[in-house]
Structure 1
Amino acid sequence: MNPYEQKRRWKFLLLAFALVIASASLWYTNYLVKNIAVSERTRAEVWAMSFKKIIEIEDINDEYLTVIFSIRDSLSMPTIVTDERDSIIYWRSLDSTKTNFQVEENGRESAIFTRKIHDPGYFKAQLAEMKRQHIPIVIIKEDGEKWFVYYKDSQLLTQLKVFPYIQLLVIGLFLMVAYTVFSSSRRSEQNLVWVGMAKETAHQLGTPISSLMAWIELLKSKFNAEKDPLILEMENDVHRLEMVADRFSKIGSTPNLHSHPVYAAIKDYVDYFQVRTSEKIKLSVTGDHEVEALMNIPLFEWVIENLMKNAVNAIGGEGSIEVKVIENLVKEQVFIDVTDTGKGIPRLKFETIFQPGYTTRRRGWGLGLSLTKRIIENYHKGLIFVKDSEPGKGTTIRIVLKSSTRYEPATDHPADKVY
């Protein structure tokens, strides 16, 4: 199993474990909520019975009356008693600032000219909420009239209903921050390792490249082969090795970007690559010859190299690869489409192919497209993505760069000039 698949499996396992914990927490909290809700319903029914006794019994001794009133006063949930016409008869445990407050009359400040009123909108809202939460308890009086006892959840029960979601939110935020910090530190550590390995590789390549250059010069002078095609191709390969070493030596440092014709940069590498690939695969570069973009040529050629090699591997036998340069004048962008006739990519893998470690080859490291994405997005401030792909028909990968083409301002027509 490659590292990417293994990492993804661990992510799924951790996610499943987190879902089990969250489900268990929600289940247990709902269990407590149901028990407390049953308990509050029972207390409300007992309270309704005591309330009925108070309004029905006229001759009652003080001891019995004390017991009934203690039951009535023990109810902590907000409660409203209404008749059949929803006229409020009694309430308790509501907001006292809304149920009983003073209003001045005629702007006079004297207490003589103030009166106590209630906020009808508050009662209406509370009663509507109570009706939504619970079925009312019915009190049938001796004369047959029905009163209804409405109540809503206590503050404890309300908080308990919300608590697990707040808890899960806090845990989720903590895990997110922890994952971000951990990933950032891990990426920083990996970057340091990559930079060190790259610079050491460039250093190790320096000596054999110098030796190869010396041997080529010796062959030229000894056999008078200045224009021999084989010697020229050997020189091209040595120059390519020099460029590779230069790429590795500059990893970790900010590259210098210069405005350069995109078509020319691509054509130079494709011409070099065509000689070194199978004759069964036809390469072509089409599109706008003049459009320019800010690029670092050695790094950009590395991108084209990785895309071309992946396309060749995807084709396997006979096929074609086309690189098309398109200028988007509206957005001032350059589109570079690399299209092959290979085996294609499933839609679910469009993002995955750019992940480090992902590869379909047995001996592949899965770093080419990951490095390509980093060069385009981090160094060139562009975008790279799978524009289109269909298994068995081929793939188109698009690169988006910011255009740096300088256009000359339009000149006036001679007929418009005044001499």
Structure 2
Amino acid sequence: MNPYRNNQRWKFALLIFAALIAGTSLVYTNYLVKNLSETERTKAEVWAMSTRNIFNMPDINDEFTTFIYAVRDSLSMPAIIADEQDSIIYWKGLDTARTNINIEDELMMEGRTGPVYDPEYFRDQLEIMKEQHPPIIVELYSGESWYIYYKDSLLLTQLRIFPYIQLSLIAVFLIIAYTVFNSIRKSEQNQVWLGMAKEAAHQLGTPISSLMAWVELIKTKFNADNDPLIDEMETDVKRLEIVADRFSKIGSKPVLEPHKLYEVAKNFVDYFKIRISQKIEFEVKGDREVEAMLNVPLFDWVLENILKNAANAIESEGKIELEIIENIAKEQIFIDISDTGKGIPRSKFDAVFQPGFTTRKRGWGLGLSLTKRMVENYHNGHIFIKDSEIGKGTTFRIILKSSLIYEPAKI
């Protein structure tokens, strides 16, 4: 089973579960809001009727008057009673500090009575109430009509926005938690990579030294200084030494020096092509004078991983082409590595660089993951699949800076 795909499934399942929780919370909160809104509507109607009775029946007995006033004063949300011309008759639960004292003094001087208010403030409040709820119309005994407007209580307003605040806080918490745990997980993975690499370099040291001594002994004993087979054996032993050196460099800051890309790529391709199927043709082309800041052993490792994948993708005969292109305007160098293999589906363009992703039965899925680390973390570059078509082949593109001082991070 592909561990990357399995990890993606778990993330998708957790996302679905979180969406269900959010949806359930919103549905239940909306249910509570609807019920509370209906209750407040009923309270507003009762308040309107009680206020009408107070205005229409001033001669009712004291006990009943006390009851009516108690009912009216029990209303918890802001409300306004207005006539057909939107003139304010009475209000409840609004900001009394907005009463216009100057107007009140003038009315008292004129001998007029009734509610006094700041016109602009109450006009704004009336518009808000009109937008929130339709008016309650009360017919008076005189034939006039009152229009009772009200707006949501503070509790209902808070309840409406509470689930969104709650979900926002949960989302922020999950993002922070995911970032922290992901950082810890990557740190642990990096420590594992570092430990394995250092141990591999250490374990390879002794047998490589022995092999070098045996090769020298064979040369001396059999007088085989110019034997091509012995030369190839010596080349492979030196290659093993380079591999060990690669592992020893993981976790440390590599030294980058200017090198001609064509020369580095051609040297490695010449070494690589005689160690795989002779049915695969290789071609290196491009500007031979282009230079980039490289750590040659690590960059050879990058080329090795990509070329191995390209060779494995070619089932019988085919061609692998490496082209070096300089983008002078952006001070970049493109290294395009194309093959005529079986291709990669577009949906897998990003997945191929994930640890554990492989299409081979015996593959570990680590080659391209390491390649991405070496290009981006060590050489301050970028690598991606430029193009791929099923049955026709794939092109990987590496982008390097041509003239920058690098400060690569540790793997």
Same fold (TM over 0.5): yes
Report the secondary structure of 1:358's partner residue: coil
| Partner of residue 411, structure 1 | none
2:310 aligned with 1:311: yes
2:293 aligned with 1:294: yes
Deviations 1:205-254 (A, max 9, x none): 11221122122222222333323222222222111111100001111111
How far apart are 1:361 and its partner, in Å? Answer: 0.9
Report the secondary structure of 2:81's partner residue: strand
| Partner of residue 2, structure 1 | 2
Q: Distance in 2 between matches of 1:187 and 1:387?
A: 27
How far apart are 1:145 and its partner, in Å? Answer: 3.3
2:268 aligned with 1:277: no
How far apart are 1:303 and its partner, in Å? Answer: 0.7
What TM-score results when the alignment is normalised by the length of structure 2? 0.90
Report the secondary structure of 1:91's partner residue: strand
| Partner of residue 211, structure 1 | 210
How far apart are 1:117 and its partner, in Å? Answer: 7.9
Q: Tell me how large the CA RMSD over aligned residues is.
A: 2.2
| Partner of residue 16, structure 1 | 16
Q: How many pairs are equivalent?
A: 395
Q: Which segment is superposed worse, 379-388 or 50-59?
A: 50-59
| Partner of residue 162, structure 1 | 161
Report the secondary structure of 1:381's partner residue: coil
Q: Distance in 2 between matches of 1:261 and 1:175?
A: 48
Structure 1 moving runs of 4+ over 6 Å: none
Q: Which segment is superposed worse, 121-130 or 75-84?
A: 121-130
Letter of the 1:190 partner, please give it.
Q
Q: Distance in 2 between matches of 1:356 and 1:260?
A: 30
Deviations 1:47-79 (A, max 9, x none): 111122223234322222222222221112111
Superposed, 1:387-398 pairs within 5 Å as 387-398=386-397
Superposed, 1:13-412 pairs within 5 Å as 13-100=13-100, 118-404=117-403
| Partner of residue 107, structure 1 | none
Cα gap change, 1:405 to 1:285, in 2 (>3 Å): farther
Report the secondary structure of 1:84's partner residue: coil
Contact preservation (8 Å) 1:324, 1:337: yes
Deviations 1:288-319 (A, max 9, x none): 22222211111111111111111111222222
Report the secondary structure of 1:282's partner residue: strand
How far apart are 1:97 and its partner, in Å? Answer: 3.4
How far apart are 1:44 and its partner, in Å? Answer: 0.7
Report the secondary structure of 1:389's partner residue: strand
Structure 1 unmatched ranges of 5 or more:
104-111, 407-419
Report the secondary structure of 1:226's partner residue: coil
Q: Distance in 2 between matches of 1:118 and 1:397?
A: 75
Q: Distance in 2 between matches of 1:290 and 1:350?
A: 31
Report the secondary structure of 2:391's partner residue: coil
| Partner of residue 417, structure 1 | none
What TM-score results when the alignment is normalised by the length of structure 1? 0.88
Report the secondary structure of 1:76's partner residue: coil
Contact preservation (8 Å) 1:291, 1:405: no
Letter of the 2:75 partner, please give it.
L
Deviations 1:114-167 (A, max 9, x none): xx9854443333222222221211112334433221111111111111111211
Q: Distance in 2 between matches of 1:404 and 1:311?
A: 29
